[in-house]
Chain A
Amino acid sequence: MPEALVIRNISRRFGGLRAVQDLSFAVNEGETVALIGPNGAGKTTSFNLITGYYRPDAGSVFAFGREIVGLRPHDICAHGLARTFQVARPFGKMTVLANVMTGAFLRDRRMEIAREQARQAIDFVGLSAKEHTPARDLTTIDQRRLELARALATQPRLLLLDEVMAGLNPAEIDQAVALVGKLSQRGLTIVIVEHVMRAILAVARHIVVLDHGQKIAEGNPREVVANPDVIRAYLGTDYAQAASVGERQC
């Protein structure tokens, strides 16, 4: 399968802090990959590096065969990568429809076409009823839906989702998982940063684990969950030892 995204040895430091160190992984087209790790592991920074908000000190990023390091975020979006932000950033003054249309204009500048595309994206995330609501009046969750719809309106081939499930109740998580599933069925390549294990296990076949800016594990969910390095990163050394003891006893 062709590779949608290839990260090769990217690094970035901020002053004395090495936010991302020598990170490499690849995502195949159509795959859903989860990027996990404790807080401060460098997940969002990686997204920012991939989407052009920061420039890596070293390394390269290939998206659909093209080197994208050095491109500005809007060019990267035009190339097919869309992202959502950890904290939703809607254009508060504009309505839901206008927000999403702004995304749709990337592919077609005509008002009617953009409106139609926007409506489809809004419908997909379930915000049709609030089409004309100003974005600043939406609930946090609806703002997240808006964020997703807006990203989808740019017709991406690769979608980077940053903690879309944070703070959702179980029913909402199921809805979100269903949405991600549907996107995957449409052939979208997805990289999802997440803390909610249930969601990760439901959508991702492949997981990359970061800690302190470095990749410490990679593999399918079963492998990763049992990996002592992963356990140590999240829970500390004691649990890692207990886990490996537990494994032997099973």
Chain B
Amino acid sequence: MLTTVAQAVVNGLLIGGIYALVSIGVTLIFGVVKIVNFAQGEFVMIGMYISYFLASSFGIDPLVSLIVVMPALFVIGVLLQHLLIRRVLALGDMPQIFLTFALSLLVVNVALLLFTANYRTVQAPYSETAIHLGAINLPVAKLIAFVVAMTLSAVLWVFLHATDLGKAMRAAAQNRDVAMLMGINPDRVFSVAVGVALALAGAAGALLMPFYPAYPLVGQVFVLMAFVAVVLGTLGNVTGALIASLMMGVAESLGIQFVGADSGLIVVFVMLLLTLALRPSGLFGGRSR
């Protein structure tokens, strides 16, 4: 019994790492640019497809493809901010929501047209292997994904706290106007924020390939998880998003183990509803009044 629970927890943590990459991206964009990226999941999907095509055309391992995926998505992020997001910043909540939402629809459906709804998978040498710690099973692919995800998160943390650009981003997140007065160029900061967020999403995609299929709608599952994690971890709080994502992964995993195979989603929603009911500002937020 204890082993089952422990295994479920471990499984949850491992996948939680991926959720973390996605949700950190969402919360980063929200914190700095003050806009919710409904399309975040689609960039995970793009990461997966890039990784898939590199693997199927050139035999490149998904982990190696990170070198291509992350910069590519960073560039896409910068372009996205520069071409689209910048134009709606002044328009208010609603156009912003619908812009990223429309973007999400657009990307999913273009993907459907280009790639069809078929699942694409990549078989890496480690896709099926696992390490055994006592009675606990650690699938290698997931373990690697987790380790890389945590490493990237740590790197991001260092970036945000120890570099000038990172501090500028945090400053802009706290108070855009004052940051501008201090000489911080908001455009540049926003571009970096979006670029980084998308790079993380793409990384999540590449890390997923060895054990998860790619298909146009794959992003939607992850983005829903990510959003709940962002709310739970308090909007704009990167560490919060990380911790909340791990919690969500564990909760989902325990749900699947003990309630039923398709109950993972219900568990997640229940967590969202509980958060809303009990602590709407998230685990790390203050009181709302």
Contacting A at CB under 8 A, from B71-125, are none
Cα A14 to Cα B288 in complex, Å, equals 11
Indicate whether A54 reaches chain B with its CB closer than 8 angstroms: yes
Cα A15 to Cα B284 in complex, Å, equals 11
**A15: nearest chain-B partner, CB-CB:** B286
Q: How far is the CB of A106 from chain B (nearest CB, A)?
A: 22
A55 touching B286 by the CB < 8 A rule? no
Cα A25 to Cα B140 in complex, Å, equals 67
Contacting B at CB under 8 A, from A10-67, are 14-15, 53-55
* Contact-size category for B: under 10
A-B contact count (CB 8 A): 5
Cα A54 to Cα B286 in complex, Å, equals 12
B286 touching A53 by the CB < 8 A rule? no
Cα A192 to Cα B281 in complex, Å, equals 32
Contacting B at CB under 8 A, from A88-107, are none
Indicate whether B132 reaches chain A with its CB closer than 8 angstroms: no
| Inter-chain contacts of A53 with B (CB < 8 A) | 289
| Inter-chain contacts of B286 with A (CB < 8 A) | 14-15
| Inter-chain contacts of A15 with B (CB < 8 A) | 286
Contact with A along B269-289 (1 / 0, CB 8 A): 000000000000000001001
Cα A54 to Cα B288 in complex, Å, equals 9
Chain A contact surface mostly = loop
Q: How far is the CB of B66 from chain A (nearest CB, A)?
A: 38
Q: How far is the CB of B85 from chain A (nearest CB, A)?
A: 22
Cα A15 to Cα B286 in complex, Å, equals 7
* Contact-size category for A: under 10
Cα A54 to Cα B289 in complex, Å, equals 5
Q: How far is the CB of B284 from chain A (nearest CB, A)?
A: 11
Cα A64 to Cα B286 in complex, Å, equals 32
Cα A184 to Cα B18 in complex, Å, equals 63
**B287: nearest chain-A partner, CB-CB:** A55
Cα A55 to Cα B286 in complex, Å, equals 13
Cα A14 to Cα B287 in complex, Å, equals 9
| Inter-chain contacts of B289 with A (CB < 8 A) | 53-55
| Inter-chain contacts of A14 with B (CB < 8 A) | 286
Q: How far is the CB of A77 from chain B (nearest CB, A)?
A: 16
Contacting B at CB under 8 A, from A104-131, are none
Q: How far is the CB of A59 from chain B (nearest CB, A)?
A: 16
| Inter-chain contacts of A54 with B (CB < 8 A) | 289
Cα A27 to Cα B27 in complex, Å, equals 45
**A54: nearest chain-B partner, CB-CB:** B289
**A48: nearest chain-B partner, CB-CB:** B289
| Inter-chain contacts of A55 with B (CB < 8 A) | 289
**A55: nearest chain-B partner, CB-CB:** B289
Contacting A at CB under 8 A, from B234-289, are 286, 289
Cα A55 to Cα B287 in complex, Å, equals 10
**A14: nearest chain-B partner, CB-CB:** B286
**A53: nearest chain-B partner, CB-CB:** B289
Q: How far is the CB of B137 from chain A (nearest CB, A)?
A: 43
Cα A15 to Cα B289 in complex, Å, equals 12
**B92: nearest chain-A partner, CB-CB:** A92
Cα A81 to Cα B286 in complex, Å, equals 27
Cα A166 to Cα B183 in complex, Å, equals 25
Q: How far is the CB of B283 from chain A (nearest CB, A)?
A: 15
Cα A107 to Cα B221 in complex, Å, equals 49
Cα A14 to Cα B289 in complex, Å, equals 10
Cα A14 to Cα B286 in complex, Å, equals 8
Contact with B along A1-17 (1 / 0, CB 8 A): 00000000000001100
Q: How far is the CB of A52 from chain B (nearest CB, A)?
A: 9
Q: How far is the CB of A8 from chain B (nearest CB, A)?
A: 20
Contacting A at CB under 8 A, from B197-231, are none
**A52: nearest chain-B partner, CB-CB:** B289
Cα A118 to Cα B213 in complex, Å, equals 63
Q: How far is the CB of A89 from chain B (nearest CB, A)?
A: 14
Cα A213 to Cα B168 in complex, Å, equals 30
**A72: nearest chain-B partner, CB-CB:** B289
Cα A55 to Cα B289 in complex, Å, equals 6
Cα A55 to Cα B288 in complex, Å, equals 10
Cα A53 to Cα B286 in complex, Å, equals 15
Contact with B along A220-234 (1 / 0, CB 8 A): 000000000000000
Q: How far is the CB of B92 from chain A (nearest CB, A)?
A: 9
Q: How far is the CB of B118 from chain A (nearest CB, A)?
A: 47
Q: How far is the CB of A195 from chain B (nearest CB, A)?
A: 20
Q: How far is the CB of A91 from chain B (nearest CB, A)?
A: 13
- 5 A-B pairs within 8 Å (CB atoms) are namely A14-B286, A15-B286, A53-B289, A54-B289, A55-B289
Interface residues, chain A, CB within 8 Å of chain B? 14-15, 53-55
Q: What are the nearest 5 A-B pairs in CB distance?
A: A55-B289, A54-B289, A15-B286, A14-B286, A53-B289
